[in-house]
Chain A
Amino acid sequence: MKISCNWLDDWIDLTGLESDELGHRLTMAGLEVDAVEEIGAGHEKIVVGRIDRIDTHPNADRLVLCQVDTGSGELRQIACGASNMEEGDLVPTALPGSQPPALDFEITEREMMDEASSGMLCSAEELGYDSEVDGLWILPEDLEVGAPFFEAMGLRDTVFEIDLTPNRADCLSHLGVARDLSAIFDRPLRRKRRELDWSDCIDPSKTAEDAAGLTVEDPEGCPRYAFAVFEDIEVGPSPMWLQRRLASIGVRSVNNIVDATNFVLMDVGQPLHAFDLDELAGPEIVVRRAREGESIEGIDHETYELDTEDLVIADAERPVAIAGVMGGARTEVSESTSRILLECAFFDPQSVRRTAKRHGLHTDSSHRFERRIDPAGIDRHLDGAIGALVDSLEASEEAPVVREGRVDESVEGVEDGWMVQLPGDLATRLLGTDVTRDVVEDTLERLGLEVTSGDDDGWNVGVPSYRGDLERPVDLVEEVARLHGYDTIPETLPDREMGGRHRLRADADHPRTIRSRADRQIEQRMRDELLGLGLQEAVNHSFMSDEELERLRVPADSELRESAEIANPLKADEKYLRTTLLTGLLRNLTMNRAQRVRDIALFEMGQRHFDPDRGDGANERRSLGILLAGRARRHWTGDREWDFFDLKGVLESTCESFALSGAQWREPSDEIPWFHPGVQAEWMTYEGSGQTLAQAGRLHPEIVNELEVDGPVLLAELDLDVLWRCGEREGEFEGLARHPSVERDLALVVDSDVTYQTVREAIESFRGDDDEFDALLERVELFDVYTGEQVPDGTRSLAFNLVYRADDRTLTEDEVAGVDDRLVDYLGDRLDAHRR
């Protein structure tokens, strides 16, 4: 909100306070000043000039040459295209080197049609003000020639942009800010603006009731409604003082009626609305909820379909305004309006807010009603509004004013404010510093609160109705702290044993929230491991689109389709919460490739979200996503591309600290459509009904082509919750072997469709058949896979290195050869395997 210092001067004398100091003190009192605008500053070269002589331009019919006195002692020739001035007139004169506020170029010495022109005579528009006058801004005669224009006209101003917190509804006006300044600087409020005596304008023979009827059908939504009626008015431009006021805080001038209502809004915070009385059917005002099927065209010329919860102002036939939010187009004040009905009311904050939200509207008026205007201010503000309007209508002072109609459904207990009991020790207890009684009393009194002694060294504090935010003792403590200054509060460290256990509450059963240190450390270790392997950490946002799942060929019945949907996404393609981390990593891939980065190794740890209606309760699952593309290693001795087995390795070494001895890799039971059909796998926690720990594979070549990313892309996603459930691996020392081992190499030829895992499992199962084998076999390791001329078509050779060891003796080759032979026979029976 913009607050003008010139305007504040109406309410409080700020003489002697620099704008820096004012801004700082406002900020430190909780009225954060975001920006300070110095209006008219830096325009010293726009001065008051007097036109001494006007000559015709020898080379141009539409131009004249003015000899202008700008106080320098010499006359200055300025060419000008206007014709509304006479010799002797004072006009704003922009000297070379200046830039009038509304122009986007600097004024220079130049020639116009071969005649020198040393500056520019300005219109009001060129200086940033609206005007009906066509031509130069003719200034009052009493100004000093040569004086800086903005200062001379009293237009020099400092405007604060204040970022108000929603609790300070009372500060949404110049009066409100002046009240806080009054407390901050301990200076009294005043009323400097002329108060018009408008009693002459009242025609005692007419009453408001004669002009229009009033029915408030919904006193809950509208506890107070008052209006005044003006007749024989002439709608036109506002007087200059009013335009200036509004212009200083960036409000566009509309006409003398609308401007007057805006003035009151910004002056005291009371929203008003003027209806064209002749357009009101009845004429009658009915404050009620909208009826089924009603709609209204707003002054923004949008049509709003009304809800039966929306409070409206209606005439005898239909709604004419959305109460407290926006007026209707039909009854809007226009140039032809001659009678107006001026509304001054209090609408229920929540009702206004719900309606404004429902229609996506946010206006100066709704902003204030939502935050609660002063309910006790209606009478005073209607009087003030009448004064402002009479002032604004200056040209037609004869205008009779018909007042007044008002309905008073007084908001319970708020009429004259309320009492809060403040315990004597509360400020000290909460702030941690001794706050003296004087400080408490002085601060609260400066704010306009009435402080009297209460029980037990406490106070009874009377709060005026405009401070809706002061309801509880603690609210008053904040006022004391805020005005006394947070910097007066000392710094201490909590004086207690920290780091003890948290005890569960005995009186309720709520889920724990604390994450153990061990838990956090494991996650950190995993991250460190991934970084050590050369993978960069990615952090993606959590959104996902249907298109992204479509591109991955995710089938309709896949778990990944069971996503949680956002009702109000920022973008259409951010409608769902991610059910996989892969979509984000693939976005990172295409983005990096677009930047011509070829080698990409990324991981991300984050949440996947699922539709809560799925029923298994696990709506949020921690996951690890991995993407590898391009070269695993770039080196002058030779490059190497990432491949599937790197991916497996990354996963396995990352999970090293978990108890995963039973976990197995296998071909997925159902083909995963986004992976290469021949390069995809699942990592299961254990055989049989195990849980899927991870899915890993190469991105399907078709998708690679569609993404135009070229080359193999390896992807994996690991469920960290499943991993965590496996628990940490616990090392146990088994002693060191005392006798040497015997190593045997065994190359087995098997059919190509027999997997390594099958052979490996068969070797393991031979342990059950052969006690000697089981006792001696220490380790099995695959060291070669061969397909080619040396073995029959349709087969391949898997070469294993077997390590045998006995606890109690040194084994001989012969002893072991026999075991080997039995193993080969066994594998021959089971898998049709034979020695190569």
Chain B
Amino acid sequence: MDVQEFQSRLESLEADAVDRLAEAETEDEIIKVKNAFLGRNGEVQELMGILRELPDEDKPVAGRAANGCKEAIQEAYEDRLEALEAEQLRRQIAEEAVDVTLPARRPDPASPHPVTRTMRELTDVFVDMGFGVADGPEVEEDFYNFEALNFPKDHPARDMQDTFKMVDGRVLRTHTTPLQVRSLLAYEPPVRLVAPGRVYRCDSDLTHSPVFHQVDGFLVDHDITFSDLKGTLNHFADEVFGEETPVRFRPSFFPFTEPSAEVDIGCIFCEGAGCRVCGDTGWLEILGAGMVDPNVFESVGVDPEVYSGFAFGMGVERVAMLKYGIDDIRLLYDNDVRFLRQF
């Protein structure tokens, strides 16, 4: 064999290798093809045996040619491998593509109960104004719920709050105002607290639930005036119902305040024009309020000549029903999941 023939054998070997690499479909096949040519017993190696038989002067040429062939096959092999990987990746990507518009996988969206959420919002307005938060028992002594709050025994004022009585003589608190008594007994003025919580009245219809929630608050210090009460509740109305919400104070009666007021806000539905919700008055009753009655101060041993204070209270459900447009209070306690999801 002369060097030409050797070279042409190399060339056809190379062409053969390139062809077979191109035909190989898997990584294994490609490696097998490579080994068939470049392996220890591969065809190129076999030809290398022949190289030794060539005349010495041809050896450098043939050697270069053989190395060239090896490199070419190696290169073809690597290209092919790379192409295959690229192909596989392309296929994988194609296979892995998804319809990104399909629905997500996540826990059901959930939100706090409208009553809890509203109670927290109302409380926070006063907390931000520097009020603390007070908490107390739901089954309450008559003293804290009534007597110390200037509801004498056998007085019609007690009819203002239909009361659940316990067999043991205590009552289910009809308001969170007992916290006013408990707190004034525990702390030295100045005392400024809000008492959010669950209260009870023997009453049930579209707008009354035997169990409902209240946020009650009070501030006792030197020189607290009715105008401070007005300013505080105006600020509250702005925070909860929006800036510039009109607020109206009407004379009323609560045994534990004097003077007493009902506080209305301008109807948030008709903006004062009159509608079904506000009974065509343009106003919505939201709060009861007033100056702490001297009898309350006396029952907790605070001198009304030295201190004065204001107090207010509101129904959480009432505010929640207005804010969310709920017309039947019982919906709040059914816990229909379809209802709860809407908040």
Contact = CB atoms under 8 A, between A and B. Distances in A.
Q: Do A and B bind each other?
A: yes
23 contacts: A165-B160, A350-B154, A474-B258, A486-B230, A487-B248, A493-B232, A493-B235, A503-B187, A504-B188, A513-B193, A514-B183, A534-B108, A536-B340, A542-B200, A574-B210, A591-B335, A595-B336, A595-B338, A599-B108, A599-B337, A612-B170, A633-B105, A635-B103
Interface string A430-467: 11110000000000000000000000000000000000
Contact of B164 (A166, A168, A566): A566
B341 interface: yes
A602 B167 CA distance: 32
Contact of A635 (B105, B186, B230): B105
Contacts of B332: 539
A515 B133 contact: yes
Contacts of B134: 513-515
A540 B139 contact: no
A531 B129 contact: no
Contacts of B294: 472, 474
B337 A592 contact: yes
B166 interface: yes
Interface stretch (B20-28, B46-54, B249-257): B249-257
Interface in B250-293: 250-253, 258-262, 291, 293
A546 to B, nearest CB: 14
Contacts of A27: 250
Given A431-B225, A474-B259, 5 more contacts: A32-B262, A431-B227, A494-B228, A495-B228, A637-B105
A73 interface: no
B187 A502 contact: yes
B129 A512 contact: no
A406 interface: no
A496 B221 contact: yes
A494 B224 contact: yes
Interface residues of A, number: 100
Contacts of A349: 154, 156
A492 B228 contact: yes
Interface string A508-549: 101111110100100010010011111111111111000000
B147 to A, nearest CB: 14
Interface in A553-575: 564-570, 574
Interface string B144-161: 000000000111110110
B267 to A, nearest CB: 15
Contacts of B308: 429-430
Given A489-B226, A592-B336, A609-B138, A542 B251 contact: no
Contacts of A813: none
Contacts of B191: 502
Interface of A: 27-30, 32, 165-168, 349-350, 353-354, 370-371, 429-433, 472, 474-475, 477-478, 481-482, 486-487, 489-496, 498-500, 502-508, 510-515, 517, 520, 524, 527, 530-543, 564-570, 574, 577, 588, 591-592, 595, 597, 599-602, 606-607, 609, 612-613, 619-620, 633, 635-637
Given A531-B112, A600-B337, A613-B168, A506 B259 contact: no
Contact of A504 (B105, B153, B187, B248): B187
Nearest to A605: B116
B42 interface: no
A430 B226 contact: yes
Contact of A30 (B131, B137, B187, B250): B250
B158 to A, nearest CB: 9
Contacts of B157: 166-167
Nearest to A609: B139
B188 A503 contact: yes
Nearest to A29: B251
Contacts of A472: 258, 294
Contact count band on B: 35 or more
B113 A537 contact: yes
Contacts of A542: 138, 198, 200, 211
Nearest to A28: B250
Contacts of A532: 107, 110
Interface string B162-198: 0011111010100000010011011110111101001
A114 to B, nearest CB: 46
Contacts of B183: 513-514
Given A28-B251, A430-B226, A510 B186 contact: yes
Contact of B338 (A494, A506, A597, A601): A597
Contacts of B234: 491
A599 B338 CA distance: 11
B210 A533 contact: no
B73 interface: no
Q: Give the residue among B108, B183, B251, B293 with the most A Cβ atoms within 10 A.
A: B251
A370 B225 contact: no
Nearest to A423: B305
A539 B253 contact: no
Contacts of A166: 155-157, 159-160, 253
B225 A492 contact: yes
Given A494-B228, A498-B192, A505 B258 contact: no
B186 A511 contact: yes
Contact of B113 (A370, A371, A538, A612): A538
A430 B225 contact: yes
Contacts of B193: 502, 513-514
B135 interface: yes
Contact of B103 (A165, A432, A475, A636): A636
B132 interface: yes
A537 B139 contact: no
Interface string B226-242: 11101110110000000
A577 B335 contact: no
Nearest to A567: B165
Contacts of B155: 166, 350, 353
B110 A534 contact: yes
B253 A505 contact: no
B185 A508 contact: yes
B209 interface: yes
B251 A566 contact: no
